[in-house]
Structure 1
Amino acid sequence: MDLMRTLADHSIRRALSFAGLGVVTLMLALSFDLALAFRTGGNLLGLICLGLLWLAWRTPSRNLRRSELWSLLLVHATALARSLPAEQAQRMMAETLRQRLVWHAEPIGALALFLWVLAMILTLAGR
Structure 2
Amino acid sequence: MNKLLLLFILILTGCNTGLVFSEVSMTNIPSDMQKSIESAKTENGCYLFTDEGKDMYVFLNGGNVIPGEEAAFFTDVKIEQHEDTLNIYFTENKTSEYSNEKLKHQLLYKITPHDSYEKIQLFRNGEPIPFDIVFEILKI
Q: TM-score range by the shorter chain?
A: under 0.3
The structure in which a higher percent of residues are helix is 1
TM-score normalised by the chain length of structure 1: 0.23
| Bigger CA radius of gyration | 1
The structure in which a higher percent of residues are strand is 2
